[in-house]
């Protein structure tokens, strides 16, 4: 009976490790994609409009 419990605990441990690894890979892929998009956007000029604010003479 102890062997069955031990094997069950080992299987659960491997499952938890696999789930954590998959989550870590997903987070790393998202960070990589964000960094790649930021690198691509650096080559574009500033596309924001320039606004000139002029106060009337009092």
- Dist. CA 3–CA 15, nearest whole Å: 18
- The pTM of the full predicted model, rounded to 2 decimals, is 0.58
Q: What is the mean pLDDT of residues 7-20?
A: 96
pLDDT for 18:
96
Q: What is the mean pLDDT of residues 10-28?
A: 97
Residue 21 — pLDDT band, cuts 50, 70, 90? Answer: very high
Residue 27 — pLDDT band, cuts 50, 70, 90? Answer: very high
**If you search the block for the tokens 């924001």, which residue do you land on?**
48
């Amino acid at each position: 009976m102890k062997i069955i419990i031990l094997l069950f605990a080992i299987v659960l441990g491997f499952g938890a490790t696999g789930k954590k690894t998959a989550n870590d890979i997903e987070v790393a892929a998202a960070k990589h994609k964000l960094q790649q998009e930021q690198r691509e956007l650096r080559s574009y000029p500033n596309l924001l409009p320039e606004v000139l604010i002029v106060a009337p003479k009092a």
